[in-house]
Structure 1
C-alpha cells in the first residue's frame, strides 16, 4: 500500500489519562498433551487515550489478536487487569454488556461478519435491539450508515450483503459498530480483505470518525504501511510482548528494535534489501531466555551485538516490560547499548 505523510490531526496530550488500558496483562492457555502453558500475552502495558488511534503491529501468532480480544472483554486475563475510564473491567454479563456498548469490534472480513440472510438495516440495528435502544431505531440506523459513508442511507436499508461491494460491506460493519455511539473501536485488520483502491477510503473514514466524533481506536494489523497512514502511535508486538512503542513517525522513520527494522524492510517504499528473518516465531509455550527475539535476530547473527558487548545479555538477560504510555521505548539490549554509546541517537 502506498504510504503518505502520517496523520496530521492533533493527537491527545501525552499526559492525558488513558481511556482504555492494559496493566501487566498476562494471558496463558493450557498446553497440549502435557506441554507447558502457552504464554500468548506475557506482560503487556498498553494505554489508549481519548481521541487516539494506536496501531498494534506484529506477525501472525505474536499475540496481538489475543490482546485485542482481552481488551474487548472476550478473553479474561490470567493476571493483570484491563481498565476503562480508570475503572477495572468487570466480567459479569451485565458489566460486559454495558462495556461492549462503549467499546465495539470491527472485524477484518465483512463477508464473515454479516449474516447473508439479514438486510443492511437489520445488520446495523442488531446492536440497538440487543441493548434495547429506547430511541428512534430507524433514525439511529440511518445516522450510522450516513456516518459510515453510505448515503442516502435509506437506499441501503433493504439490500443484502451479496448486493454490495467489499468496501460497502465494510462500511456496513463499521456502521453496526457506530450505531451504539461507542467511545472506542477495536479494528482487527480492517482493510486486509479489501482491494487496494478501497483501502484508502476506509482508512480516511476511520480518521474522519476520530476527528468528528472524538472516537478512539486500536487498529490491529501486520501492515506497518497501514500504521503509518492511520495511527498516532504504534506498538510493535513479538511473542507476547510489546518490544517497541512510540509516536508513529518516530518509530517508523527511526526504528530501534531489529524486529521493527525487519518488518519495515519488506515495505515497497523501504528501498534496500529486505531483512529475511530465519525460522518461525518461537512457540509461546517455550519462550526463549533473554531477549525473546534473539533466536531470529539479524543483529545477533551478524556479530554486531557481540561487537557492542551485549550478545550474552541478548541470550540470557530478560528485558523489562515497556510502560503503556506515549513515550518512545524499546526493549532491546543492543538498541540500549547503541543509545548509550551515541547519545545523539545516531
Structure 2
C-alpha cells in the first residue's frame, strides 16, 4: 500500500446517486442442487462525484453485485435506485439507464473488436443510442478527455497498433462519449504494466474532478483502493463486512478479513495473515458470522477471551447500511 496521502480530495455531494437497497441475487443450483446466494443482502450508496472501491477475494460476489448495479443481472429481491428512481428493467428504460451508467472492463483487448478502428469503437455507443449531434466532434472530445491527443491521430488505428494503456484509454473514451454520470470499472488496471497503472488511475481521478463523474471501482487490490477511492466497501461471501472512508478502513481495519487482506501488502507491518481454505460455497453459507470458519481471531482464541466466540459461530450479523459512516459486521470488533 502506498505511503502517500489517499487520493480523495473532492467531497462528495449530498444525496446518493446510486443505491442498492436490500439486494439479494441467487442462482439456481446445478441439477436441482441448493441455490447459490451470490449477493446475500447488500445496502450500498454511491454519491455524486464519489469514487467507491468494492474490494474482496475472487468469488466473493463483487462482480455479480456490480453487474446488478448496471442492470445486467436483475436482483432476486431488493432494488437498485438511480437518481431517486427505482431501476426499470424494461428494454427501453434499461437502454436509457445504460447511457447514464457505463461499464469499463478489465481487459481492453477483450473489450475492443480487433476489426474496428478506434473511431468506430468509440462511436459505437453513440450509434446505439441514436446520437443526433456531430459524431466526429463527440468522438474526438471523448478521446481527448481520455488522454489520447491529438485524437484524430488515433481515429484510423486498430487495437493491435496500440499499447495496453492506450487500449484502456480507448475503452474509457467509449464510456465517456455518452457523458455518463457514473462508471463501473471492473479491475480497470489489473491487466496493465505497473508503469501504466498510475496513469490510468490519475485519469480516473481527473475525470472525477473535472466532470463530477462518480465511479464504482471493483478490485482485489487494496493498494489501488488507497490511491483512488473516497470510500471502501469490503465484501466477503455475498455481503459487505466493513465499510467507511479509505483512511479509516485501510489505516485502522476492524474486521479480521480486512486485516488479513491488508497484511499481505509489502508495506504492511508484522507477518502476513494466511487464511486457511477457500471462501465457502455460496450455496452453503455457514451460520453465524460467515467468515468464522477462516477467522484468525477465532482460531487464536482472541474471540473466546473477548466472550464472543459462541456468537461468532452461531449468531448472524445484520446487513450494514449503505450510508457513508464506518461500519463493521464482526462480533469481536464490536466487543472491543
Report the TM-score range of the alignment, normalised by the length of the smaller protein: over 0.9
Match of 2:236 in 1: 238
Q: Report SS of the residue matched to 2:282.
A: coil
Report the CA distance between 1:134 and its aligned residue.
0.4
For each residue in 1:82-126, what CA deviation from the matched residue of structure 2 results, as whole angstroms up to 9, or x when unmatched?
000010000000000000000000000000000000000000000
Q: Give the distance between the partners of 2:46 and 2:230, measured in 1 at CA.
A: 10
Equivalent position SS for 1:19: strand
Partners of 1:136 and 1:323 lie apart in 2 by: 44
2:333 to 309, 315, 335: 335
Give 1:167's aligned residue: 165
Unpaired runs of at least 5, structure 1 = 339-346
Please give the per-residue CA displacement for 1:102-157, whole angstroms capped at 9, x wherever unaligned.
Answer: 00000000000000000000000000000010000000000000000000000000
Following superposition, the deviation at residue 269 of structure 1 comes to: 1.2
Spell out the pairing of 1:92-241 with structure 2 (5 A cutoff).
92-241=90-239
Alpha-carbon distance in structure 1 between the residues aligned to 2:8 and 2:186: 23
How much does 1:4 deviate? 2.5
Say whether 1:42 aligns with 2:40.
yes
* Alpha-carbon distance in structure 2 between the residues aligned to 1:197 and 1:126: 29
Aligned residue number for residue 5 of structure 1: 5
Separation (CA, whole Å) in 1 of partners of 2:220 and 2:30:
27
Describe how 1:29-108 pairs up with structure 2 within 5 A: 29-108=27-106
Measure the CA separation in 2 of the matches of 1:199 and 1:209.
Answer: 16
Stretches (4+) displaced over 3 A: none
SS at structure 2 position matched to 1:204:
helix
> Contact 2:8–2:229 at 8 Å: present in 1 too?
no
CA distance in 2, matches of 1:21, 1:74: 16
CA positional deviation for 1:33: 2.4
Structure 1 residue matching 2:16: 3-state secondary structure: coil
| Residue 302 of structure 2: aligned partner | 304
TM-score (norm 1): 0.96
Choose the corresponding residue for 2:289, options 269, 291, 296. 291
- Aligned-partner Cα distance in 2 for 1:11–1:78: 33
Deviations 1:217-269 (A, max 9, x none): 00000000000000000000000000000000000000000000000001111
Residues 27 and 8 of structure 1, relative CA distance in 2, 3 Å threshold: closer
- Paired residue secondary structure (1:267): coil
2:20 paired residue number: 22
Tell me, yes or no, if the aligned pair for 1:188 and 1:220 is still in contact at 8 Å: yes
Q: Secondary structure at the match of 1:98?
A: helix
* Number of residue-to-residue matches in the alignment: 336
Report how far residue 271 of structure 1 moved.
Answer: 2.9
For 1:222 and 1:8, the matched residues in 2 are separated by 19
Q: Is the CA contact 1:18–1:48 (under 8 Å) kept in the aligned structure 2? A: yes
Q: Distance in 2 between matches of 1:83 and 1:308?
A: 40
Query: Is contact 1:63-1:240 (8 Å) kept?
Result: yes
Aligned-residue Cα RMSD (Å) equals 0.8
How many Å separate the matches in 2 of 1:62 and 1:253?
22
Q: CA deviation at 1:42?
A: 0.2
Counterpart contact for 2:8–2:228, Cα < 8 Å: no
Which secondary structure state, in structure 1, belongs to the residue aligned with residue 130 of structure 2? coil
Q: Distance in 2 between matches of 1:57 and 1:86?
A: 26
TM-score, normalised via structure 2 length: 0.99
CA shift, 1:288, in A, is 0.3
CA distance in 1, matches of 2:199, 2:18: 27
